Amino acid sequence: MTDAPELAAQILTEHWRTRQAIDALPDLCRPATRAEGYAVQARWPARIGPIGGWKIAATSVAGQRHIGVDGPLAGPVFARRVWADGATVSLSGNRMRVAECEVVFGFARAIEPRPEPWTRAQALAQVARVMPGIEVPDSRFAHFERAGQAQLIADCACCHEMLVGHPSSALDRLNDLAALPVQARLSDGRLFEGVGSNALGDPVEALRWFLGEMSAAGQRIEAGHFLTTGACVTPIAVEPGQAMEADFGWLGAMRVRFD
């Protein structure tokens, strides 16, 4: 009998390594539900290496339109593709070629899955640090906008490259994140503006959604992991040779260059 999640993970991780695209997973291992998608992504670490953190895709209407879904998706971010502020990120083989300015939460202790819903206060109690972040996502599907949510979850919610900035000292301002002004300036002169509420109405609500989603998937979050909560600014098209500066107001600023 075919181990469908294992076969799907084998195919997707090989394409993750080679940065090549597929049209769709074969019928015999293609997930049809969110739960089946999460079962596939749970097999990735054994093939790719340790998880550095987590991400939520499609927390904004623009993000949902970008990947052709009608709600958010969660997935791991692998430690081997987590970078510090100021890093140069390769766009080689990247089909999405966008950058996203995001609020990132860090966890000091492990979080176990549980059946009870998470309250806002309980979600906030898990946060040990908050920092700016820039995600550079990609998909293993050539036509990711047509892959559907189950396959995109199996694809680790389009995880790829992630830059994490310096932690802010203003942990007392987590309830202000919905109103956080975010501005991104490209080296070609383009300017983009957004606000924290573009991420599911509030990055803290995105965190609460994530904790519930991972509990439903039976996924433990390890101490030291982070969560990047989704785009505060419309996904920004980028090309090799460009640089981007992102200003998150009181949360801080960061920079990335694309190669």
- C-alpha to C-alpha distance for 209 and 250, rounded to whole angstroms: 24
Domains of the chain in sequence order = 4-258 (3.90.850.10)
Where do runs of H (alpha helix) occur along the chain?
4-18, 34-41, 44-48, 61-67, 120-124, 149-154, 203-217
With both helix axes pointing from N to C terminus, report the angle between 4-18 and 34-41 in degrees, rounded to the nearest 10: 60
As a residue count, the chain comes to 259
CA 101 to chain centroid, in Å, comes to: 11
Q: What is the mean pLDDT of the chain?
A: 96
> What's the average model confidence in pLDDT over 50-67?
89
Q: What percent of the chain is modeled with pLDDT above 90?
A: 94
Per-residue pLDDT at 49 exceeds 60: yes
Give me the residue label for tokens 């080296």: 187
pLDDT of res. 68: 83
- For the whole model, what pTM was predicted? 0.96
Give me the residue label for tokens 């593709």: 81
Predicted confidence band at 61 (pLDDT cuts at 50, 70, 90)?
Answer: confident
> What's the average model confidence in pLDDT over 225-235?
96
pLDDT of res. 60: 81
3-state SS class at 205: helix
Encode pLDDT of 88-123 as tens digits.
Answer: 999 999 999 999 999 999 999 999 999 999 999 999
Lowest mean pLDDT among 1-5, 152-156, 178-182, 201-205: 1-5
> What's the average model confidence in pLDDT over 70-92?
96
The span from the first CA to the last CA of the chain, in angstroms, equals: 44
- C-alpha to C-alpha distance for 180 and 171, rounded to whole angstroms: 14
- C-alpha to C-alpha distance for 170 and 4, rounded to whole angstroms: 45
Beta bridge partner(s), residue 103? 132
Other CB atoms within a 10 A radius of the CB of residue 2 amount to 10
Beta bridge partner(s), residue 55? 75, 228
Per-residue pLDDT at 1 exceeds 60: no
pLDDT of res. 67: 83
